[in-house]
A and B are shown apart, each in its own frame.
Chain A
Amino acid sequence: GAGVSQSPSNKVTEKGKDVELRCDPISGHTALYWYRQSLGQGLEFLIYFQGNSAPDKSGLPSDRFSAERTGGSVSTLTIQRTQQEDSAVYLCASSKGGTPFYEQYFGPGTRLTVT
């Protein structure tokens, strides 16, 4: 079956511009997660959705970062006024729900480069 998909796969933007990253979770998965991965580093948690609500936004690094999820499916991560330190791979994952963070399946990621 179809896995988690993300778009775009690559995004190059100028410093100060806003970007939107999209995630389509696995059909039927109620939980959705956003992570950030910098070069050679582990995964940094950003935000978690259960349905359309976000019980945990604790990982968002600043108020320039926001995310929403509508219809219990697609999610958008928005970064406003991008900075060079925002350059990273942004990964989305989904899981069936139940216990949060169990058995997450990841998408291929969006590589963001801020110039």
Chain B
Amino acid sequence: GESVGLHLPTLSVQEGDNSIINCAYSNSASDYFIWYKQESGKGPQFIIDIRSNMDKRQGQRVTVLLNKTVKHLSLQIAATQPGDSAVYFCAERASGANSKLTFGKGITLSVRP
């Protein structure tokens, strides 16, 4: 079956460094991808999304890169701050009117002061 997964369950980075969170997807029909951040006890917070007709999109301190050739998605966080500590989820949606978002299990980002 199709799946969305994350390479590493945890990522520890030094405050001020850049973070890269990776996500692999297996459905070549996916045409929309989204990253969420979830802090403890809170709902997922929308970070950034990207459509398959793009390979890069930038937001405030974040960049999402999409490599459709190898079905790989990454989230880059510049100058990581303690407030970035959270669980990060990637999700994909296949093209088609009835397609839903499929979420990965999440990766924990821990920022060392």
List residues of A whose CB falls within 8 A of some B CB. 4, 6, 40-43, 45, 48, 55-56, 59, 91, 93, 99-109
Contacts and interface: CB of A to CB of B under 8 A. Distances in A.
A105 B46 CA distance: 6
Chain A, interface SS category: loop
B25 interface: no
Contacts, number: 55
Given A103-B46, A106-B44, A56 B101 contact: no
Given A91-B44, A104-B34, 4 more contacts: A42-B103, A43-B44, A43-B101, A106-B45
A101 B101 contact: yes
Contacts of B46: 103-106
B42 interface: yes
B57 interface: no
